[in-house]
Structure 1
Amino acid sequence: MAGSIAESSLTVAAMDDVVTLEQEPQAATAAPQLRTILLTDICDSTTLVEQLGDSGTAQFFREHDRLVLRLQQQWRGRLIDRSDGLLLLFERPIDGLGFALDYGRGLDEIGKLRHLKVRTRAGLHVGEVLTWRNSDEAVRLGAKPVEVEGLAKPIAARLMSIARPGQVLMSAVAEPLAHRAARELGERGQHMIWKSHGVWQFKGVVERQQIFEVGEPGVAPLRAPPNSPKAWRDIPLWRRPAMLAAEAALVAAVTVGGWFATRPPPAIAFNERDWVVVGDLRNLTGDTRLDDSLEQAFRISLEQSRFVNVLSDLKVRDSLARMRLDPETLVDRGLAAQIAQRDGARAVIVPTVSEVGGRLRFSVEVIDPYTQTTVYAHVADGKGEESVLASIDQVTGALRADLGEAVVQIDKDSRPLPEVTTGNLDALRAYALAQEAYANHRFTESLQLYRRATQLDPEFALAWIGQVRSHYAVENAPAAVEPMRKAQTLRKHLPSREAMYLDAWAAKFDDPATTASKWVELARLYPDFMPAQGNAATWLYKDNQFKAALEHALAAAVPQNPLAGQEFDSVGRAQLGLERYAEAEAAFRRSNEMTGSSMRRLVSTAAARGDLEAAARYAKSLDPANAYSYIEQTSLAVDRSDWTAAREASRQALATLDNPDGLAGRYLRLPVAVVDMLAGDRKAAARQAGRTADIAIQALEAAGGFNADAEEDAALALASALVALRSGDRDVAKRVIAALDEHDALMRTPALSELRVVLRAAVDRRNGRAREAVTALEPLLVGGERYQTRVELMEAYARDGRLEEAVEQARWLQRRRGLAYVELECGHCLQALNVADSRLAVRREAQLLEELGRSKDAQARKDAFGSVWPGFDEKAYLRR
């Protein structure tokens, strides 16, 4: 006892630092939080040190630490501890999984530079943890800054400890959450294998744990981990070796006897929405007219299936290019199998047409892509060329039954090929060539061939739809009206999917308010029909429904979609509208790598997050021949308060156009008016905005109210009236409101309805009816409202004396700069005004705070405004 007291006294006298630590209370422990916990370890790290030596090891771990820091930022992880292994916390399991996979790959690359094989193991679990921060003194003396405890930590440690080199093990809590979000890992997420390793018992943990492995084929072991003293497989009695031997003998006897009795044919088990690759038609007749015609007819018939999806011609050619083969290479059995393995397709289907005993025979084989063995085969014979389409019907009906569809469902969805397509083989050949031209973006050629097909057979419904698609591809929507009307008269000839596809396009002409809902309905009924997913994302994005748009865009941005690059652009737009700048930039970069057409959005993303220098660097890569690229250049110049550059860019956009009287020319007039207004020339701005509104209304009336551009012209008229009103001209607003009141069906479109309310509220406020303006605007705040709705509501609150609420609106406008840049109405015609208002909101907040008597806060916001918009002339603005 005395010794202990003396030792304690010595400690107190000689170790003041320790006394400080003992006397300093710990930070209050927070309530348990649900977190993803990841533990990793470098395998055979001692051997690594021996091979590299001290200096080489130090250099290795410097590179290792840089890798960890980069992946932390990429996957939003928090590093808690580091030695030979890592302990990290994440908000979501998919982030922890992404880190683990990239960490293993990154260390492997670092090792290869040193001719070493560096492998890691990882354990991932989701559970409640307690975290607390150590004192500064404790950290100075070697303690970790943050401590983590909880049952989740030892469970993750057990998973990591039994993992094989290169293996990522997950708990049953983490696996479904990560699996559901696997699309966020991009293309590799589509190819990863998720494997269960059964139920395990962990030492010290009462509950049994189910273990899962996730990994990339050829990289991960994908084998059950070995037992250890602290973790072992929980095997029931009936699965232990002795019992298994007896069971195996019994099963073998029954199986052999059953096989000899029944000998079932081999089969592939299909799931709903599996993909198949259709190989090129083998034409053994010598009649070349049958080549493309019959292959296209077979595809059309097979695509009626609700059970499987056919990999498109464009995607097949893209896969051939990635295999460094000529895109026109004949896709035979072996090559189709390779493509199926690359793109995750379940089966290969090879059609053949031949002449046997004077009869024309059509047959198909369903092939396992991994073994290249035939698992199904169907044949139909007929007399003469006129019989071959009926033979295709017969074969595809039998084939679809084998693919998993009930006979009643086939009967419901399938129509005879001569009715669905055409009985004219020459028309069918023209259609097949048109499809090929369209897939290769030769839209003028595809339009000519689709027209040829309808000349040969005016009842060929799919060829009329092809003309609609070709016109839209070259942004000539008004020309699509006539073929679409013809296709509508033939709607009964279409399979259900194509009929719904036609209805969704027709809604844009006839009832724009229902367009988004029709695309969403089609996407839900046919979740792997990529055009439906992509168009659903586009129309939801137009309505500022960014979360819903993101869901559909992600569903379309998959390897099987030949337009995946375009869909990554939609993903980025939705993320930018949600102010998720890092995710938006990553999606736009991915899109730009694939299509080269997302540089405008990269400018917007950098500017929205406040990095105007990065935005300017991106802007240098914009195509000067693309008139639309000047929209972002104008907005960026406004963001920098560079009025000279803004005026030059807004006018250059119009000068670039070949047809300034078209829809693009109408769009691009309004940014000119916005810049004139901001730069101080209100009279010029009012004239330009008024002229733009009148042109838009004239275009709308000339087309009889309903046309492909009606929605855009109405939005342009409303936006122009707003700009004219802010420039001092109230007559434009009156004219526009009166003209659009004649188009009730068109004005039911959500965006147009909202913009009309905003315009009327702006007029009411200027006429002294601020309270009426507030009453009209507040019901619009249901999520997805337009940026200018909030601008007008801020001013209406201020005029009505509700200054605190006006301040909140000013702050909302400052936060939502991503929305200011990405919002789509009349081709981003209000983008420059939105961007200016995001800056002016800082100044408006200062004014409102001054009126509330909060002078100190007001001065801080004035100083902030001076730094974000240094080119703004306060005195000149007040004079105006």
Structure 2
Amino acid sequence: MDDVVTIEQEAQAASAAPQLRTILLTDICDSTTLVEQLGDGGTAQFFREHDRLVLRLQQQWRGRLIDRSDGLLLLFERPIDGLGFALDYGRGLDEIGKLRHLRVRTRAGLHVGEVLTWRNSDEAVRLGAKPVEVEGLAKPIAARLMSIARPGQVLMSAVAEPLAHRAARELGERGLHLIWKSHGSWRFKGVVERQQIFEVGEPGVAPLRAPPNTAKAWRDVPRWRRPALLAAEAALVAAVAVGGWFATRPPPAIAFNERDWVVVGDLRNLTGNTRLDDSLEQAFRISLEQSRFVNVLSDLKVRDSLTRMRMDSTALVDRGLAAQIAQRDGARAVIVPTVSEVGGRLRFSVEVIDPHTQTTVYAHAADGKGEESILASIDTVTGALRADLGEAVAQIDKDSRPLPEVTTGNLDALRAYALGQEAYARYDFDEALQMYEQATELDPDFALAWLGQVRVRFSNVDAPSAMKALRQAAVLKDRLPPREALYLDAWVSEFDAPWETAGRWVQLAKMYPDYLPGRGNAALWLYEENRFAEALPHALAGAVDQNPLKGMDFDTVGRIRLAMEAYPQAEAAFTRSLEESGGSSQRRLVSTAAAQRHFEKAESEARRLDLANEDHYIEKTSLAIDQGKWKQALELSQASVRVLKNTSGLAGRYLKVPVALSHWLAGDADAARATLHAAAEASLALNKEGFNADAEDDATTALGAALILQRMGDADGARRIVESLARNEKLMRLPVVAELASVVKAEALRRAGEPEQAVALLRPLVSGRERYQTRVALMEAYADAGQIPQALEQARWLQQRRGLAYGELTCGGCLQALNVLDSNLAMRREAELLRGQGKDDEAERKLQDFNRLWPVEALPDHLREI
């Protein structure tokens, strides 16, 4: 920070002596549009995050902020610091924008030259003047560079470029991959000398293209190459081209790209036959949704958009209203279907409409005789429509199956299914189930209706009935559209081969990258397996405006960011989730603050939690333990059990683990032991009945109990749990169950005096996706084996990964409190290991840090002995 002090001192003293400095000017591109899109509240939140980013980067790159509005003016001692700031600033704003589904781009100009700085009087500052003023020729040169830069571009002068280029290694690995490009000689208005302009940027991020000419900066080119001398020839060519275009111009069209979105308006039924209303609209959606080229905005999202537009969610979505929704939600086209009778034949037709002009750009129709022809007509129209939008005919043939094969020929069954979909979109699960059941009564081979029953029954937490419907749907898999068949495979694997489930959801997400339920489930399953870097792209892809449940995906984004210790991004994602849908993100904000030891803020967030929700006490218990409030932790963990509505359900078992841990920390070992055995026995008993929907959580609950029993000296109890689980071959194929079972075995080996064998068992588990408790056991095994440097590495890792301690998802969060406890105990363990190396001073400092967190006198007796 010495450089910052130097600039600060200079700014405080009036001086006529010019100083040689690096000057950086940046600008946020299209800031007015940004404000319009975000609104006042969103803009304020955006710039709060922006200012935190700027402050952090100032400190990192030793910069002095002179002025800011939509852009920034900063001074640096060295060009490499200014470049580092510019690159990180562009990246940081891009991340902030992604959370809002906005592309925020910056431009920057960097120059080295002499500047004059002086401080304004206090009175002038009070009246609105900047505290420090900067002037000199370097400032307008940097401003010219910034003004002509393209979005995402960093332009440098010929003075700054060689100095920064030579120091690029100071940027680390990133500096080795930067691209340095010359854009030749330029003229700046008001500057006599020619200016050589250079661009520096990261591959795939920077435009790496010459800037455009402007009235104040233009490329210095020979006369013979200047556009004015070619004007006559260009005009002649243009005249010929324009004339030819008017003579041969194509019909109106939409610039539709692969994976663009469309809004389907409500069906116009001109036949007077109300049986066709819902059934044909649903059939058309099913037919169109088979495309991987065209994305259809779900009916749930359309109704959600109407609500957000403060309109009746049941309003008729005609072409005008559909156009408004399309513009609001980023859809490229509106499609309005119609059914009518023409000359005694039943006609199905569609119009493709430009939402901005409401002009019909395509229209297709197909006629048939009688109701039995209508599904074939829909298939014909859909194929022609997809071809018009640009999808290859071969791809249409490959991805499409006839509607009678993937729905039902019974229009009454199809109508019942459509009404079930409509009720499901309103979260009226009882009515939805009734409609789905009616559809399967009318046509027992209607696979989509069975799949609808699966979704509803799982939403109602009725796993046994859901399983029956799932098995029936699996029998009829050949009667599902290709996308829904993959969706079914993923669901079935959750019960038959759960070790394959994450891969199944990822396969679906790859095949149909804009199928938002597939993205969301892929993210969740990868997150549960601690595969955070793989999960994040899926979660971000699901958190888009076209997703009516994007609040859930923002929550997943936040949980992944928390587990990766990206705290500002996690907090922003949770805040966005709460804005969209409320829900459980409030408890994650508690974890995010607590993981950073911002306990006052965490307590404030915790006061907003729903005290009737048993799961919300998990964070409250962990927060109390984190602060050494043992009795409070016990009271909170017991409260979680008291508010349970279903004491025999899964939560009634996994919540016993933090209750037992709190009993132990509060000094009641007997109650802790009894509670752990009760949790383990209940979970093991259910697993003996076979593999069920809660099998993995029950197994990890039992293993969580075993880990705490080992610490309490109950080696036999822990061993019996592992032996019981080992008899279930299917359970032991689950990665998390196998890993935690290995942790319990390794801990038993260490306590039996065989730490080297414990290390050999644990070390292969460290893959980047290991559980927090695996590292805890490895630390102790290394320490007992005399491998002190390796043990120290683990102790420091545990202290640094507090986001993972709070964010890891195992047995419904039942190990969160234990992880948090160990993140603090690792601090004292590091002190003990350092003392063992003879590093008494370092050990004493670390022990003082631990004592400030948990004073020795406040520790339970059994923790003092650790």
Q: Is the 8 A contact 1:686 1:728 kept in 2?
A: no
Deviations 1:175-213 (A, max 9, x none): xxxxxxxxxxxxxxxxxxxxxxxx9963345569899xx
What amino acid sits opposite 2:666 in the alignment? A
Partner SS state of residue 574, structure 2: helix
Deviates more, 1:816-825 or 1:423-432: 423-432
Aligned to 2:34: none
* Pair 1:389 & 2:375 matched: yes
Choose from 439, 442, 447 the match for 1:456. 442
Choose from 616, 621, 628 the match for 1:634. 621
Deviations 1:695-740 (A, max 9, x none): 11111121x2x22212111111211111111122122222222222
Q: In structure 2, how many angstroms separate the alpha carbons of the residues matched to 1:717 and 1:864?
A: 34
| Cα 1:41–1:551 shift into 2, 3 Å | closer
Aligned to 1:442: 428
Q: Is the 8 A contact 1:523 1:532 kept in 2?
A: yes
What amino acid sits opposite 1:444 in the alignment? D
Partner SS state of residue 397, structure 1: helix
Q: Is the 8 A contact 2:155 2:199 kept in 1?
A: no
Deviates more, 1:446-455 or 1:332-341: 446-455
Deviates more, 1:316-325 or 1:489-498: 316-325
| Cα 1:722–1:563 shift into 2, 3 Å | same
| Cα 1:101–1:604 shift into 2, 3 Å | closer
The alpha-carbon deviation at position 658 of structure 1 amounts to 1.8
Aligned to 2:107: 124
Partner SS state of residue 471, structure 2: helix
Partner SS state of residue 846, structure 2: helix
Choose from 62, 66, 71 the match for 2:50. 71
| Cα 1:344–1:232 shift into 2, 3 Å | farther
Q: Is the 8 A contact 2:348 2:367 kept in 1?
A: yes
* Pair 1:274 & 2:260 matched: yes
| Cα 1:133–1:838 shift into 2, 3 Å | farther
Aligned to 1:849: 834
Aligned to 2:4: none
| Cα 1:494–1:156 shift into 2, 3 Å | farther
The alpha-carbon deviation at position 270 of structure 1 amounts to 2.1
* Pair 1:575 & 2:561 matched: yes
Aligned to 2:303: 317
Choose from 465, 482, 489 the match for 1:503. 489
Partner SS state of residue 707, structure 1: coil
| Cα 1:866–1:444 shift into 2, 3 Å | farther
Q: Is the 8 A contact 1:272 1:307 kept in 2?
A: yes
Aligned to 1:680: 667
* Pair 1:837 & 2:811 matched: no
Deviates more, 1:401-410 or 1:537-546: 401-410
Choose from 178, 186, 191 the match for 1:202. 186
Deviates more, 1:224-233 or 1:717-726: 224-233
Q: In structure 2, how many angstroms separate the alpha carbons of the residues matched to 1:732 and 1:278?
A: 60
Aligned to 2:470: 484
Q: Is the 8 A contact 2:57 2:88 kept in 1?
A: no
Q: Is the 8 A contact 2:519 2:542 kept in 1?
A: yes
* Pair 1:824 & 2:809 matched: yes
| Cα 1:806–1:170 shift into 2, 3 Å | closer
The alpha-carbon deviation at position 759 of structure 1 amounts to 1.1
Q: In structure 1, how many angstroms separate the alpha carbons of the residues matched to 2:363 and 2:769?
A: 52
Aligned to 1:611: 598
Choose from 635, 658, 671 the match for 1:671. 658
**TM-score normalised by length of structure 2:** 0.81
Q: In structure 2, how many angstroms separate the alpha carbons of the residues matched to 1:592 and 1:226?
A: 45
Aligned to 2:356: 370
Deviates more, 1:741-750 or 1:835-844: 741-750
Q: In structure 2, how many angstroms separate the alpha carbons of the residues matched to 1:156 and 1:727?
A: 66
| Cα 1:130–1:666 shift into 2, 3 Å | farther
Choose from 850, 856, 860 the match for 2:845. 860
Q: In structure 2, how many angstroms separate the alpha carbons of the residues matched to 1:824 and 1:239?
A: 69
| Cα 1:96–1:208 shift into 2, 3 Å | closer
Q: For residues 539-618 of structure 1, what are the structure 2 equivalents within 5 Å?
A: 539-597=525-583, 598-618=585-605
The alpha-carbon deviation at position 575 of structure 1 amounts to 0.6
Aligned to 2:153: 171
Deviations 1:728-753 (A, max 9, x none): 21222222222222233332222222
Choose from 720, 727, 747 the match for 2:712. 727
Aligned to 1:243: 233
| Cα 1:373–1:593 shift into 2, 3 Å | same
Q: In structure 2, how many angstroms separate the alpha carbons of the residues matched to 1:460 and 1:375?
A: 35
| Cα 1:651–1:134 shift into 2, 3 Å | farther
Deviates more, 1:500-509 or 1:476-485: 476-485
Q: In structure 2, how many angstroms separate the alpha carbons of the residues matched to 1:802 and 1:237?
A: 73
Q: Is the 8 A contact 1:283 1:352 kept in 2?
A: yes
Deviations 1:439-468 (A, max 9, x none): 222223322222221122111111111122
Aligned to 2:204: none
Deviates more, 1:420-429 or 1:725-734: 725-734
Choose from 252, 257, 277 the match for 2:242. 252
Q: In structure 2, how many angstroms separate the alpha carbons of the residues matched to 1:271 and 1:658?
A: 50
Q: In structure 2, how many angstroms separate the alpha carbons of the residues matched to 1:522 and 1:467?
A: 21
Deviations 1:280-313 (A, max 9, x none): 1011111222111111110000000010100011
Q: Is the 8 A contact 2:665 2:860 kept in 1?
A: no
Deviations 1:315-338 (A, max 9, x none): 112221222211111111111111
Choose from 320, 325, 328 the match for 1:334. 320
Partner SS state of residue 824, structure 2: helix
What amino acid sits opposite 1:71 in the alignment? H
What amino acid sits opposite 2:107 in the alignment? L
| Cα 1:478–1:837 shift into 2, 3 Å | farther
* Pair 1:760 & 2:745 matched: yes
Deviates more, 1:686-695 or 1:580-589: 686-695
> What percentage of aligned pairs have identical amino acids?
55
Deviations 1:607-665 (A, max 9, x none): 11101111111111111111111111111111121122111111111111121111111
| Cα 1:68–1:785 shift into 2, 3 Å | closer
User: Number of aligned pairs?
Assistant: 763
| Cα 1:134–1:622 shift into 2, 3 Å | farther
Q: In structure 2, how many angstroms separate the alpha carbons of the residues matched to 1:787 and 1:134?
A: 54
What amino acid sits opposite 2:495 in the alignment? F
Aligned to 1:494: 480
| Cα 1:771–1:422 shift into 2, 3 Å | same
**TM-score normalised by length of structure 1:** 0.80
The alpha-carbon deviation at position 877 of structure 1 amounts to 3.4
The alpha-carbon deviation at position 408 of structure 1 amounts to 1.8
* Pair 1:287 & 2:273 matched: yes
What amino acid sits opposite 2:457 in the alignment? H
Q: For residues 22-37 of structure 1, what are the structure 2 equivalents within 5 Å?
A: none
The alpha-carbon deviation at position 412 of structure 1 amounts to 1.5
Q: Is the 8 A contact 1:683 1:727 kept in 2?
A: no
| Cα 1:126–1:568 shift into 2, 3 Å | farther
Choose from 82, 92, 110 the match for 2:66. 82
Unmatched tracts of structure 2, length 5 or more:
1-9, 31-43, 75-81, 98-103, 118-130, 157-182, 188-193, 202-210
Aligned to 2:682: 695
What amino acid sits opposite 1:171 in the alignment? Q
Unmatched tracts of structure 1, length 5 or more:
1-16, 44-64, 104-120, 136-143, 175-198, 212-222
What amino acid sits opposite 2:788 in the alignment? L
| Cα 1:68–1:829 shift into 2, 3 Å | closer
The alpha-carbon deviation at position 592 of structure 1 amounts to 1.0
Partner SS state of residue 795, structure 1: helix
Q: In structure 1, how many angstroms separate the alpha carbons of the residues matched to 2:53 and 2:140?
A: 26
